Amino acid sequence: MFTERQNHLAKIQKQLISSRQMPLNPLTNTEINYFLNEFSSCDANNFSKSGLGEREGRIFSPIVQSRHFGFAHGIGRSGDLLEAQPKAAGSFQMLQITEGMVLHSLKLAGFQTVKKCLMVPVCTGMSFFFVLTALKLKRVIWLRCDQKSVPKALELGADVVEVVDCIIQDDSMVCDYKKLQVLMESKQFDCVVSTTSCFAPRQPDDIKIIGKLAKLNNMKHIVNNAYGIQSELIMKELNNCEDAHVVISSMDKNYMVPVSGALIYSRNKALIEQIGQLYAGRASASGIIDLFITLLSLGQTGWNQVLEQRKRNFDNLKQKFKAKTVNRNEISMYVPGTNEEIGKLMFKSGISGSRFNKNGSELKICGRILKDFGLHGEGGISGYLVVAAAIGMKENEIDAGFLEYEQQ
């Protein structure tokens, strides 16, 4: 009995190490705990007394020790986020398996041609700042999407920012591709930043059109796919986008983990490695441990299930709320003609992403003022409720939220 169990665990461990893929079926909590201990026990802080004068891997509190499953070395070395740390062989192996499982999850979500993924301990906005500065992209065209993280990153990292407002088209807010083309052909910019996960009525930017223009004009194309891993359409488009150089997604919004970091990924392996080598210093492994645990407890079947369930939730929400959908936006929809009170109530009752947008606010970015911030473009569509089908959402949450809504 005992050896049977040992053989079973050894087999899974061997498979994880050699395939670096998600297991087909979910692992149990006991199994996952076993692997966490197996890997962390290969780190020097757990098998030897820290050496004389050693500054790393000392943990005072047993609570902190257990919160991190004994992993204390983080990832990377001072000059490279992807370099192995000799004192932390277990952490490094855990990191490699997690990267493999994340790539696997991206492929299952539709982006089959993805080659390399960097897992960084800062969120989407700061990751943009990091990528822009690492690749020395100083003159940026930003396709306006009214969420503050990326414009703040541009304010930090860029010298010149040209903003392309969305325009109203078919009851949605759509990128002004004509204006974009003129700007790109002016050859005054290093890169274009597009957004593929956004609240309706904004349409996700068409990365195929933008990628072609980027290639023609010899510019980098950085894609803000904050929570778009759950959109099969976007993930599949990434395969056919001639030049989507770097894609950035949030860990928490796509993988049901606490806020902790972001994924920076691409079909271009060398480019991601170049960015990883420019990371200054070591980094926390906290978010990576959370992904390691979550992807093992989902397995391929669990991951496919949550992606499928989300699609069903979208259809369900659309039907219940009689919401308007927006071309290519598979995650959120909107209900026109609602008021602020309903928006607040819906938010309280937990309909993910429900909000009421009012105009009148402004945002300053690199010396210019964006009017009607929140509407994705000056004079944009306003006065609606956004309803989003986020990954992990339960059917009873939809029912409860809709009940609140109906009572208004």
Ligand X SMILES: *Cc1c(COP(=O)(O)O)cnc(C)c1O
Q: Give the shortest CB-232-to-ligand X separation in angstroms.
A: 18
- Please check if 332 is assigned to a binding site: no
DSSP for 8-64 reads HHHHHHHHHHHH-S--SSPPPHHHHHHHHHHHHTTBHHHHSPPPTT--SS----HHH
Stretch that binds ligand X, among 29-37, 147-155, 159-167, 275-283 (CB under 6 A): 147-155
Q: Give the shortest CB-151-to-ligand X separation in angstroms.
A: 9
| Residue 250 in contact with ligand X, rule: CB under 6 A | yes
| Residue 222 in contact with ligand X, rule: CB under 6 A | no
- Please check if 139 is assigned to a binding site: no
Residue 331 to residue 328: CA distance in whole angstroms: 9
Across the beta sheet with 262-266, the strand order is 116-120, 262-266, 246-250, 220-224, 191-195, 139-143, 160-164
Stretch that binds ligand X, among 52-60, 89-97, 132-140, 146-154 (CB under 6 A): 146-154
Cβ distance to ligand X smaller for residue 103 or 143: 143
Which alpha helices (DSSP H) does 135-206 contain, by range? Answer: 149-157, 177-185
Cβ distance to ligand X smaller for residue 40 or 124: 124
The binder of ligand X chosen from 224, 266, 329, 332 (CB under 6 A):
224
Cβ burial of 14 (10 Å; 0-12, 13-18, 19+) is: exposed
Q: In this structure, what token pair is assigned to residue 285?
A: 């492994």
Cβ distance to ligand X smaller for residue 263 or 296: 263
DSSP bridge pairs for 227: none
DSSP for 71-104 reads --S-B-BTTBTTS--TTBHHHHHHHHHHHHHHHH
DSSP 336: E
> Is the bond leading into 201 cis (omega within 30 degrees of zero)?
yes
Q: Give the shortest CB-77-to-ligand X separation in angstroms.
A: 26
Cβ distance to ligand X smaller for residue 106 or 145: 145
Cβ distance to ligand X smaller for residue 123 or 271: 123
Q: Which amino acid is at 195?
A: T
Residues 103-142 within binding reach of ligand X (CB under 6 A):
123-125
| Residue 98 in contact with ligand X, rule: CB under 6 A | no
Residue 58 to residue 106: CA distance in whole angstroms: 35
Nearest to 219 by CA among 111, 116, 135, 127: 135
| Residue 354 in contact with ligand X, rule: CB under 6 A | no
| Residue 149 in contact with ligand X, rule: CB under 6 A | yes
Cβ distance to ligand X smaller for residue 43 or 237: 237
Q: Do the strands 172-175 and 166-169 form a parallel or antiparallel pair, or are they unpaired?
A: antiparallel
Cβ distance to ligand X smaller for residue 156 or 160: 156
Count of other CB atoms within 10 angstroms of residue 45: 23
Site string for ligand X, 266-305 (x = CB under 6 A): ----------------------------------------
- The residue ranges that bind ligand X (CB under 6 A) are 123-125, 145, 147, 149-150, 195, 197-198, 224, 226-227, 250, 253
- Feature table: binding site: 55, 77-78, 85, 282
- Feature table: binding site for substrate: 77-78, 85, 282
